[in-house]
Amino acid sequence: MTRTLEAAMAAFSPVLPLTVAYSGGADSSALLLACARRWPGQVAAVHVNHGLQSAAADFQSHCQSVCAELGVPLFTEAVDAHANPGQSPEDAARRARYGALARFAKSERGAPWSAMVLLAQHADDQVETLLLALSRGAGLAGLSAMPAQWQRDGVHYARPLLLVSAADIRDWLRAQGHQWIEDPTNTTTDFLRNRIRAELMPALRQVFPQYATTFSRSAAHAAQAQTLLTDMAQADFQVLCAPGQSMPSIKGLHALPVVRRAHVLRHWLRTVHQTQASSAQLDELLAQLAACTTAGHQLHIRVGHGFVRRSKDSLDWYNPQA
């Protein structure tokens, strides 16, 4: 079920000292204020300037003023978040933001504060993420939505407000008399997530008043099931590969049921090569793999931004542009 902000923070036990990713918006403002009050002197903030809006300098100035008032050290990271051809603006901004947070956490100035980096996504964000995953036909990994804690590139991240509604966050801020800034891009319907927020979420609230609780529960169930599948895939992968190698055996793959074969191939591509197969690519890979029964049978198929090919008795993946 959803929680109040106070309850969520009371239940959260981070590793200290910590860094709050602080945009100046309502969600990160509430998170920063709550952390600064609960762990004084143990909290820093990092503001990522995406450089995409004329108001970016005003956002940064607001964050500097708030942090000075709270006595919280503020670090700023400037990034180029413009999208590449074929890339969505949202994805470009997200990748730039995570890249900046990781660089800060690993830097000399960030290291003293980055035992954990906190992000301010909340229950409504979780529902939006789940709906986006459903719209794309995602599997369990996508339906798991956002984890409450995880590690990436050696950095430990956490989302302590993931069970708190956006409305509760704003009500809490108003009760504290704390000001925040509104990003004008949050109201434009040019982005799919914003259309979900503006058009679909109000309809869901009318039909399913408890949707934030129930949808988040479904995401948590999917995450539990995904954990079990990941453990199984890792166990299968270790059996399929020769010691010290990361290329799955073709003969070993043939011995697995098709569903486990597909899952271990996704696991291999994601964890070893940081790429993903589309449903069509995976179906073609499985078909070619099933036909690969003789020593001279070759296999070559595009997967992600590279190719899967046969390498003697195993599968390999390569990126011709690397």
Instruction: Please check the confidence at residue 1 and state whether its pLDDT lies above 70.
Output: no
pLDDT at 86: 64
| Nearest-angstrom CA–CA distance, 104 and 14 | 19
Tell whether 185 and 106 lie within a shared domain.
yes
Domain annotation covers residue 235: no
Instruction: Using the predicted structure, report yes or no on whether residue 187 has a pLDDT greater than 80.
Output: no
User: What is the per-residue pLDDT across 112-156, written as a single tens digit (0 to 9) for each?
Assistant: 988 899 999 999 999 999 999 999 888 888 899 999 999 887 899
Indicate whether 255 and 200 sit together in one domain: no
How far, in Å, CA of 210 to CA of 280, rounded? 36
- Please report which confidence band the pLDDT of residue 300 belongs to, taking 50, 70 and 90 as the band edges: very high
Name the region of 141 (left: φ>0; alpha: ψ -120 to 50; beta: rest).
alpha
Query: Is 232 inside a domain boundary?
Result: no
HSE (CB half, 13 Å, CA atoms) of 43? 21
If one counts the domains in the chain, the total is: 2
Q: What's the CATH number where 32 sits? A: 3.40.50.620
Tell me: do 198 and 256 sit in the same domain.
no
Predicted local distance difference test score (pLDDT) of residue 85: 72
Whether the per-residue pLDDT at 107 is higher than 80: the answer is: yes
- pLDDT number for residue 296: 86
The pLDDT value given to residue 161: 95
pLDDT value at residue 287: 95
Token pair of 25 as six digits: 């918006």
Confidence at residue 50, expressed as pLDDT on a 0 to 100 scale: 73
pLDDT, mean of residues 35-60: 85
Q: Work out the burial of residue 136: count CB atoms within 10 Å of its CB; fewer than 13 is exposed, 13-18 middle, 19 or more buried.
A: exposed
206 with 254, same domain? no
Q: What is the pLDDT of residue 52?
A: 62
Bigger pLDDT: 247 vs 184:
247
Cβ–Cβ contacts within 10 Å for residue 97, how many?
A: 18
Please check whether residue 168 lies inside any domain of the structure: yes
pLDDT value of residue 11:
94
Radius of gyration of the chain (CA): 22
Secondary structure E strands in the chain: 18-21, 43-49, 74-78, 116-118, 149-152, 155-158, 300-303, 306-311, 314-318
Q: Are 149 and 158 in contact (CB under 8 A)?
A: yes
pTM reported for the whole predicted model = 0.83
Are 160 and 64 part of one and the same domain? yes
Strands of 155-158's sheet, edge to edge? 74-78, 43-49, 18-21, 116-118, 155-158, 149-152
Q: What is the mean pLDDT of residues 159-176?
A: 94
Sign, CA dihedral 11-16-17-23, equals negative
Using one digit for the tens of pLDDT, what is the confidence trace for 200-220?
999 999 999 888 888 888 998
Nearest alpha-carbon partner for 301 in 255, 290, 114: 290
Give CA–CA dist 30/4, Å, rounded.
12
Burial 285-311 (b: 16+ CB within 10 A, else e): bbebbeebeeeeeebeeebbebebebe
Q: What is the mean pLDDT of residues 230-245?
A: 94
Residues 253 and 132 in one domain: no
pLDDT at 247: 96
Joined together, the tokens standing for residue 284 give 């073609």
Same domain, 34 and 181: yes
CATH of the domain at 248: 1.20.59
Percent of the chain surpassing pLDDT 70:
95
pLDDT averaged over every residue in the chain:
89
Q: Does any domain span residue 209?
A: yes
Is the Cβ–Cβ distance between 119 and 71 less than 8 Å?
A: no
Q: Which domain holds residue 258?
A: 241-318
pLDDT at 87 over 80: no
The one-letter code for the residue type at 233 is A
